[in-house]
Amino acid sequence: MSLYETKRTRQVFDWQDIRDHHRKNDAWTVIHGNVYDISEFVSRHPGGDVILHCAGHDGTILYESHHSLVDRNMVDTRLSGLQIGTLKGGEVHNVQYDTEFSKDLITACREALARHGRREKEGVIVALSVYAMHVGTYAGLWVFGHTWWGLLLSVAMGGILALEHLIGHAGSHGAISRRGWLTKLNYVFAMLSMESYGMCLRHWTFSHVVSHHGYSYTENDCMLETHLPARFWRLNHSQPWKPLHAFQGYLFRFRSLISFLVSGCRFRVFPFVCAEPLIRAALGTGWIPNPKFMASGSTVDPRLLEASHNGMGPHQFVAFDSVFDELRAHAIANLVWVPLFMHIANERSSSAMWATMILYASFGVQAGLVIQNLLLQHVSEHTVLVQSTSGDWYRQQIEGSVDIYDSWLSTVFTYGVSLQCVHHIFPHLNGTEAIAVRPALEAVCDQHRVLYSYFARTRQAESSALKRMEAFSKNV
Ligand SMILES: [Zn+2]
């Protein structure tokens, strides 16, 4: 180690110093009490620029939750080259990642994965197949959209968009491919998939990959607040709409219908509304959605880490990029849907009302399908619904999630998202890899007496979740 490096790593920084370095080209982060300058590394990061969500913040959870199966020595060596000092006060987390349970779990899952072999191209093949279906159905709507066939095709389009939501999900975790230049496609696939129906990838990534995955079911899981229909029924002790939980049993039964009705009117896409930032500004909630960020289980004053409403806080770099990202999401969505809308509306014997209905049905079916399964992923009779902000992180992730294995095909085409316990501890696996790892996870859970919710059929998971929801609403 050179003298210069020795001198730099001896520096001690406080949170004010970290916060000052929150821009794309000037990014510092904290992992386990050490301070790293990641500015130069961002473009070389194999997982893509999701790493920027750590800038100006504590990046411990994002680091831990996405590097469990990779070559840890290699990653740690790379990281130590970026260290510039330590944090005043040292480690700020109460969460443990190296318990006996987590060590056994990672070893067993690594072995299962090694037996399974690498499946690097599978994710790309799934994504391309879904895009091909999208193009085919879009062409079908172009030709037949003004007829009754249009309604049938719009339902199919809703199903395809739901799959695209999962491509976006997998891409934001870097799960589509981890091989060479293909890793860059994670971001491109995720962006095209999510933004084709108006969801801004950067904000979704923050709320899902950083907040939901890192802080599942704590008060810091801001994904609960970013999906509008979800706040009606997602269980959380800081829920602002808590009185509505008394109706959760009913809401749960009609979750798909409610989502269809609410989200069919896709607020970013013409002919509904395509100016969400303007509406947010008018309502005084800031130009962009700016989810709160707190280091769960941390001893840091959360006000030091929180992004301010106007985006001028520690997340300033996100705010700056976000304006561009927001505009891009609007542009991509409207570029896809406006021509189709105009075409259907201009067809003889058709009308703007009919074209609106076709789009409404496509978006509504997508939202209905997504919510249908989303609610089953973390609720069963036995799952832990509200997590503590300290303790064994791996155990918490498993005890707060549900694995459902309906069929090989559905698991592969959804990138293993229904195997939510596997997904939460190893989010960078694709469908067949998740299937291969699941029995090992179950065996280690049995051995350590960790609660593991597994259902071989969606129907069973559904009735278990319903029981819990009904019991929960009676106790409100
Ligand atoms: Zn995820």
- The distance of Cα 10 from the centroid of its chain, to the nearest Å, equals 36
Around 182, how many Cα atoms within 13 Å sit in the side-chain half-sphere?
Answer: 13
CA of 65 to the centre of ligand 1 (A): 11
Long-range contacts of 3-11 (CB under 8 A, 24+ apart): 8/83, 8/84, 8/85, 9/83, 9/84, 9/85, 9/86, 10/85, 11/35, 11/84, 11/85, 11/86
Distance (Å) from CA 208 to ligand 1 centroid? 6
Which amino acid, residue 75? Answer: V
The pLDDT assigned to 121 comes to 81
377 CA to middle of ligand 1, Å?
11
Cα 420 to ligand 1 centre (Å): 8
Q: How many residues does the chain have?
A: 476
∠ CA 287-302-217, nearest 5°, is 85
Q: What is the pLDDT of residue 314?
A: 40
The rounded Å distance from CA 52 to ligand 1 centre is 18
428 alpha carbon to ligand 1 midpoint, in Å?
A: 9
**Closest-CA residue to 50 (of 71, 73, 27):** 27
User: In terms of DSSP H, where are the helices of 145-198?
Assistant: 149-172, 182-195
The pTM is what?
Answer: 0.86
Burial of 304 (0-12, 13-18, 19+ CB in 10 A): middle
Quote the tokens at residue 458.
């969606």
Per the CATH hierarchy, to which homologous superfamily does domain 3-79+91-96 belong?
A: Cytochrome b5-like heme/steroid binding domain (3.10.120.10)
Tokens, residue 157: 């389009």
The pLDDT of residue 443 is: 97
CA of 332 to the centre of ligand 1 (A): 23
Q: Are 51 and 42 in contact (CB under 8 A)?
A: yes
- Asked if 404 and 455 touch (Cβ cutoff 8 Å), the reply is yes
Residue 240, preceding bond cis, omega within 30 degrees? no
Whole-Å CA distances, 18 to 35, 51, 52, 56: 8, 15, 13, 5
Q: Where in the chain is the domain with CATH 3.10.120.10?
A: 3-79+91-96
Tell how far the Cα of 210 is from the centroid of ligand 1, in angstroms.
Answer: 9
**What's the 2 CA to ligand 1 centre distance in angstroms?**
40
Task: Say how many Å lie between the CA of residue 246 and the centre of ligand 1.
Answer: 28
Rounded to the nearest angstrom, the distance between the alpha carbon of 171 and the centre of ligand 1 is 10
3-state SS class at 310: coil
Give me ligand 1 centre to Cα 84, in Å.
Answer: 31
Sequence-ordered list of residues with C-beta below 8 angstroms from that of 82, at least 6 positions apart, any chain: 36, 37, 38, 40, 41
Kindly give, in sequence order, each residue whose CB lies less than 8 Å from that of residue 140, ignoring residues fewer than 6 positions away.
Answer: 149, 153, 156
**What is the model's pLDDT at position 416?**
93
Are the CB atoms for 356 and 338 separated by under 8 Å? no
List % helix, strand, coil for the chain (3-state, nearest 5).
60, 5, 35
Q: What is the pLDDT of residue 301?
A: 52
Got the DSSP string for 258-289?
HHHHHHSS-TTSTTS---HHHHHHHHTS-SS-
Per-residue pLDDT of the chain (476 residues; tens, 9 = 90+): 444 444 455 799 987 788 778 777 888 898 988 999 999 998 888 777 778 878 877 788 888 888 888 888 888 888 889 999 998 877 766 778 889 999 999 999 999 999 998 777 888 999 999 999 999 999 999 999 999 999 999 999 999 999 999 999 999 888 888 776 777 788 889 988 988 888 888 778 877 887 788 777 666 666 655 544 455 555 555 555 666 677 778 888 888 898 888 888 887 788 887 766 666 667 665 555 555 444 334 444 555 544 433 333 344 444 455 667 778 888 899 999 999 999 999 987 778 999 999 999 999 999 899 888 888 888 898 888 766 666 888 998 999 899 999 999 999 999 999 999 999 999 989 999 999 999 999 999 999 999 999 999 999 999 999 998 888 777 65
User: Ligand 1 centroid vs 284 CA: distance in angstroms?
Assistant: 30
User: According to the model, what pLDDT value does residue 294 have?
Assistant: 42
Which pLDDT does position 225 carry in this prediction? 52
Distance 400 CA to ligand 1 centre (A): 13
Q: What is the DSSP letter of 134?
A: H
- Count CB-CB contacts under 10 A for residue 434: 28
The residues, any chain, with a CB within 8 Å of residue 292's CB and separated by 6 or more, are 220, 222, 306, 307
Whole-number Å distance, alpha carbon 23 to ligand 1 midpoint, is 25
Ligand 1 centre distance from Cα of residue 166 (Å): 9
- H or E, element range at 37: strand 34-37
State in Å: Cα 186 to ligand 1 middle: 14
Query: What is the CA(57)–ligand 1 centre distance, in A?
Result: 21
Distance 394 CA to ligand 1 centre (A): 15
**CA dist., res. 215 & res. 11, Å (int):** 30
How many Å lie between the centroid of ligand 1 and the Cα of residue 427?
A: 6
